[in-house]
């Protein structure tokens, strides 16, 4: 039983079951977990019916009283039980609570309402029955339920203790149906965007993750701030935080988790051709697991462990609620699977696909077109290599094909040679995606001044990425530098607990106080 309990209450199992319930509430194709859920649901119904029946019988039997049962008490609290019999008022109250308690507990278990409360109450009641008349003490009341040490009361009490340990909406019933429809109404009206609820449900796992990730320059200080706030930081972590090479000051400002209720306003949007894109776009680190953390090569592996399918979907809901309506994700099976799952639940996140054309082979580009992308771009490393090898036709062909399919088309680049080469050779994509960040942090942008100078005189929309230089730049500074420097959009990788704060920063930076020389081209 303990093994089954551990299995049923694990975070991953519970999340899968809840999502299965949300997506397929009446599905006839039962998974292994659904079979288990139905098995324990039937057990709960059987116990509920037994208690409900016992209570109803007692209520409709005018001659019934608990006095006969209590009179046989010869074990613990026998003196108290005998006193109840001698006091008519106490006996009347006991009879009332006993009969109607059985009805209430049985009804709740039978229908699946307040299952945990009913299970605990029922277990306590049956244990009182057991104490009052245990099977190892001689009783003149004949009962087939009396075996040595074990009887039906003890068995059912133990089973109800097990039922009380399950999550409230694990077993099927009226309460689970209520949560299902409540969740659907919430999704239709406003997506499930408050990440605090999810974080509280995974506090143990989250705590271990916080402590283990405290050394990552890109994300570690975020976890450090959370851990410090909760008093989980060790001396080693304090010492690490004081070292500029161990933890950058940029992310120390992200020590708080924000709720959707703290959202200042939805992120503003721009338009490329006929596609409306939020000025702030979420990057693909959460699916790809590629985290640029300098020499800490294990960060990508940790990132993949954190961002399960459901965590990605939760993050997308948060983005959507914050006004971030577009994600730049690589074109692969994982991305397509997760996005389709998200869209099937009512999500509206737009996919701007990062594609990988290989010479004349546009298979990967076609994959994005066929699976719901609103636009596609050539991956920056590929574009850099194409220009280096003077094979510009391999930039021109994918862009024209993407356009022919009704999508917006662009190319990414790490080097300014790509937009320069495109301009010089008459290749005019719908947008450029270019690395662009602060000049004091030359981690991924080789010449920020050159980027700003070029796009000041370029009328093609610019999506800036790597604007925080892998966590080396404070978000407030990086966002302002990008948008005031000429970017029309900014693509940023973010954890779920960073979404609200990033949206607030973008909302503030893009407000009336922005000082921008370049015209908005989207």
- The secondary structure of 412-469 as a DSSP string is EESSTHHHHHHHHTT---SEEEEE---TT-TTS-S-HHHHHHHHHT--S-EEEE-TTT
In a domain, 194, yes or no: no
The last residue of a domain, from among 180, 213, 230? 180
- Output the DSSP codes for 330-398: E-SHHHHHHHHHHHHTT---EEEEEE--BTTB-HHHHHHHHTT-SEEEE-HHHHHHHHHTT-THHHHHH
Tokens for 445?
């942008």
Distance CA 172, CA 155 (A): 22
Spatial CA neighbour of 174 closest among 45, 80, 79, 88: 45
Residue ending a domain, choose from 148, 180, 212: 180
**pLDDT confidence of residue 232:** 42
- Worst-scoring range by mean pLDDT, 51-60, 76-85, 252-261, 356-365? 252-261
Ramachandran angles phi, psi of 314, nearest 5°: -60, -40
CA distance 73 to 134: 8
Distances (CA, A) of 444 to 331, 415, 466, 467: 22, 9, 7, 9
What integer is the mean pLDDT of 428-443?
A: 76
Q: Are residues 166 and 293 in the same domain?
A: no
At residue 24, does pLDDT exceed 70? no
Same domain, 470 and 339: yes
Whether 376 is in a domain gets the answer yes
* 197 domain residue, yes or no: no
Q: Are residues 348 and 466 in the same domain?
A: yes
Range of the domain at 300: 277-509
Sequential DSSP letters for 34-77:
HHHHHHHHHHHHHHHHHHHHHHHHHHT-TT--THHHHHT--STT
CB 267 within 8 A of CB 280: yes
Torsional sign, CA 330, 332, 334, 335: positive
Residue 200 burial (10 A CB sphere; 0-12, 13-18, 19+): exposed
Q: Is residue 246 in a domain?
A: no
Is residue 176 domain-shared with residue 281, that is, in the same domain? no
* pTM score of the predicted model: 0.54
In this structure, the answer to whether residues 372 and 483 fall within a common structural domain is yes
Contact assessment for residue 345 and residue 339, using Cβ atoms and an 8 Å cutoff: no
| Residue 370: inside a domain | yes
Mean pLDDT for the chain overall: 77
**Confidence band of 184 (pLDDT split at 50, 70, 90):** low
Closest CA to 491 of 435, 421, 430: 435
Number of domains in the chain: 2
Q: What is the pLDDT of residue 264?
A: 92
Per the domain annotation, does 74 fall within a domain?
Answer: yes
Percentage of residues of the chain with pLDDT beyond 90: 31
Residues near 71 by Cβ (< 8 Å), separated by ≥ 6? Answer: 82, 85
282 with 176, same domain?
no
What is the number of other CB atoms lying within 10 angstroms of the CB of residue 192? 18
| pLDDT tens-digit readout, 72-121 | 777 777 778 778 877 878 888 888 888 898 999 989 888 888 888 888 98
Rounded Cα–Cα distance for residues 463 and 491 (Å)? 7
Residues 23 and 158 in one domain: yes
Q: In angstroms, how far is CA 163 from the centroid of its own chain?
A: 26
Residues 136 and 284 grouped into a single domain:
no
Q: Would you say 443 and 412 are in contact if contact means Cβ atoms under 8 Å apart? A: no
- The residue with greater pLDDT, 309 or 176, is 309
Distance separating alpha carbons of residues 137 and 134, to the nearest angstrom:
6
Q: How confident is the model at residue 395 (pLDDT cuts 50, 70, 90)?
A: very high
One domain, residues 165 and 313: no
Task: Select from 177, 159, 40, 168 the least CA-distant residue to 116.
Answer: 168
Does residue 360 register a pLDDT over 60?
yes
Please check whether residue 241 lies inside any domain of the structure: no
pLDDT digits (tens, 9 = 90+) for 216-265: 343 344 444 444 444 444 444 444 444 434 333 333 344 456 677 888 99
Tokens 């075996």 -> residue: 147
Residue 176 domain-assigned (yes or no) = yes
Q: Are residues 434 and 303 in the same domain?
A: yes
CB atoms within 10 A of CB 168: 14
CA gyration radius, the chain: 31
Question: What CATH number has the domain bearing residue 340?
Answer: 3.20.20.100
Contact status, residue 210 vs residue 223, Cβ threshold 8 Å: yes
Cα separation, 479 vs 473, in Å, equals 9
Do residues 372 and 502 share a domain?
A: yes
**176 and 308 part of one domain:** no
Given 137, 164, 180, the domain boundary residue is: 180
């Amino acid at each position: 039983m303990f093994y089954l309990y551990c299995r049923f209450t694990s975070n991953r199992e519970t999340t899968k079951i809840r999502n299965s319930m949300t997506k397929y509430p009446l599905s006839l194709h039962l998974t292994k977990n659904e079979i288990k859920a139905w098995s324990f649901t039937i057990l709960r119904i059987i116990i509920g019916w037994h208690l409900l029946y016992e209570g109803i019988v007692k209520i409709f039997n005018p001659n019934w009283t608990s006095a006969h049962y209590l009179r046989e008490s010869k074990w613990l609290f026998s003196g108290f039980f005998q006193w109840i019999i001698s006091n008519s008022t106490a006996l009347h109250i006991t009879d009332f609570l006993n009969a109607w308690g059985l009805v209430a507990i049985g009804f709740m278990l039978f229908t699946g309402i307040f299952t945990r409360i009913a299970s605990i109450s029922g277990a306590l009641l049956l244990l009182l029955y057991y104490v009052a008349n245990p099977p190892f003490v001689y009783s003149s009341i004949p009962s087939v339920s009396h075996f040595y040490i074990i009887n039906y009361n003890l068995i059912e009490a133990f089973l109800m203790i097990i039922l009380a340990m399950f999550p409230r909406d694990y077993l099927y019933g009226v309460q689970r149906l209520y949560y299902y429809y409540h969740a659907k109404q919430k999704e239709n009206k406003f997506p499930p965007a408050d990440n605090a609820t999810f974080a509280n449900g995974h506090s143990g796992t989250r705590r271990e993750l916080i402590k283990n990730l405290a050394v990552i320059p890109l994300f570690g200080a975020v976890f450090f701030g959370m851990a410090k706030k909760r008093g989980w930081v060790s001396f080693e972590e304090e010492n690490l935080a004081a070292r500029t090479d161990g933890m950058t000051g940029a992310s120390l400002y992200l020590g708080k988790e924000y709720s959707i209720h703290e959202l200042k306003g939805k992120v503003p949007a721009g338009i490329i051709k006929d596609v409306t894109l939020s000025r702030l776009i979420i990057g693909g680190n959460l699916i790809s697991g590629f985290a640029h953390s300098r020499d800490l090569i294990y960060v990508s592996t940790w990132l993949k462990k954190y961002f399960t399918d459901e965590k990605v979907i939760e993050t997308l809901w948060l983005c959507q609620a914050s006004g971030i309506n577009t994600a730049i994700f690589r074109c692969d099976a994982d991305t397509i699977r997760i996005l389709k799952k998200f869209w099937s639940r009512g999500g509206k996140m737009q996919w701007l696909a990062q594609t990988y054309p290989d010479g004349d082979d546009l298979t990967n580009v076609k994959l994005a077109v066929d699976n719901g992308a609103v636009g596609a771009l050539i991956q920056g490393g590929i574009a850099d290599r194409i220009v280096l090898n003077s094979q510009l036709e391999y930039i021109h062909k994918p862009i024209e094909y993407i356009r022919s399919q009704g999508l917006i088309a662009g190319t990414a680049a790490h080097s300014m040679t790509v937009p320069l080469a495109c301009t010089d050779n008459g290749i005019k994509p719908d947008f450029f995606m270019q690395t662009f960040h602060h000049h004091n942090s030359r981690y991924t942008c080789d010449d920020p001044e050159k980027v700003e100078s070029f796009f000041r005189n370029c009328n093609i929309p610019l999506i800036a990425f790597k604007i925080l230089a892998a966590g080396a730049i404070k978000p407030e500074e990086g966002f302002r530098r990008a948008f005031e420097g000429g970017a029309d959009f900014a693509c940023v990788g973010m954890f779920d607990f960073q979404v609200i704060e990033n949206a607030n920063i973008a909302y503030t930076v893009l407000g009336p106080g922005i000082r921008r020389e370049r015209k908005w081209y989207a």
